[in-house]
């Protein structure tokens, strides 16, 4: 049995895709949402699915104490694996070393291209014929950990950036749950 935690800061569509994947699962379950923005839409999604939440106030606590608080939450909930889903904080090296469970992230570009924010826009503004998504382990380097899976699509610039964003999100919602399932089954 695996206890899953998801960290998110924003809309939470990937959070919801992961929750749906494990919703009727007797073995593995999403036990916790860690979020750092009180008004994030992901909160509404967590309420809808009754997922326990822990708000981490980075502003008040500062990074070290915020990460201590996250660690406490992970221990308390016996978390076995963490999925980042649009979590806009960089986890420190000491946090990653202390918490021995796998920590996985999804990024909307074909890493190592277009790390950091706005991966979709950067690809759209480039001459690249294709872009895509990367699911990878988290290490201390932003968007730099070992790659687990990549999926690519064609960049059709005539259709505009919104179309590309949509296509990327479709890929994410298909492949993040599948990859999560595969990783969790190995625990």
Catalytic residues: 107
> Which residue sits closest to ligand GRF, CB atoms considered?
86
Q: Which of 31, 108, 136, 180 binds ligand GRF (CB under 6 A)?
A: 108
**Residues 51 to 90 in contact with ligand GRF, rule: CB under 6 A:** 85-86
Q: What are phi and psi of 46, to 5 degrees?
A: -65, -40
Minimum distance from residue 176 beta carbon to ligand GRF (Å) = 8
Minimum distance from residue 147 beta carbon to ligand GRF (Å) = 14
Nearer to ligand GRF, 3 or 13 (CB): 13
Site string for ligand GRF, 143-172 (x = CB under 6 A): -----------------------------x
Taking alpha carbons only, the member of 78, 75, 91 closest to residue 9 is: 91
Considering only the stretches 11-19, 44-52, 63-71, 179-187, report the one whose residues sit in contact with ligand GRF under the rule CB under 6 A. 11-19
Q: Which of 2, 4, 14, 54 binds ligand GRF (CB under 6 A)?
A: 14
Nearer to ligand GRF, 31 or 107 (CB): 107
Establish if 179 lies at the interface with ligand GRF (CB under 6 A).
no
Q: Which of 3, 13, 54, 131 binds ligand GRF (CB under 6 A)?
A: 13
- SS3 annotation, the chain: CCEEEEEECCCCHHHHHHHHHHCCCCCCEEEEEEECCCCCCHHHHHHHCCCCEEECCHHHHHHHHHHHHHHHHHHHCCCCEEEECCCCCCCCHHHHHHCCCCEEEEECCCCCCCCCCCHHHHHHHCCCCEEEEEEEECCCCCCCCCEEEEEEEECCHHHCHHHHHHHHHHHHHHHHHHHHHHHHHCC
Minimum distance from residue 180 beta carbon to ligand GRF (Å) = 13
Q: Which two tokens stand for residue 18?
A: 């992961």
Contact residues toward ligand GRF (CB under 6 A) are 8, 10-15, 85-86, 106-108, 172
């Amino acid at each position: 049995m695996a206890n899953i935690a998801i960290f998110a800061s924003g809309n939470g569509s990937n959070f919801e895709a992961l929750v749906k994947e494990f919703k009727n699962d007797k073995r593995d379950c999403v036990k916790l949402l860690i979020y750092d923005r009180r008004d994030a839409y992901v909160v509404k999604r967590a309420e809808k699915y009754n997922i326990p939440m822990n708000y981490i106030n980075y502003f008040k606590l500062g990074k070290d104490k915020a990460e201590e608080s996250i660690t406490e939450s992970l221990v308390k909930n016996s978390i076995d694996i963490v999925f980042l889903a649009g979590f806009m904080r960089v986890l420190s090296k000491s946090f990653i070393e202390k918490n021995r469970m796998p920590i996985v992230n999804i990024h909307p570009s074909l890493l190592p291209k277009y790390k950091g924010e706005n991966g979709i826009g950067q690809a759209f503004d480039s001459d690249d014929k294709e872009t895509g998504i990367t699911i990878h382990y988290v290490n201390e380097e932003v968007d730099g950990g070992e790659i687990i899976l990549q999926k690519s699509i064609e960049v059709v610039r005539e259709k505009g950036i919104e179309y590309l964003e949509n296509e990327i999100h479709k890929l994410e919602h298909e492949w993040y749950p599948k990859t999560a399932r595969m990783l969790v089954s190995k625990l």
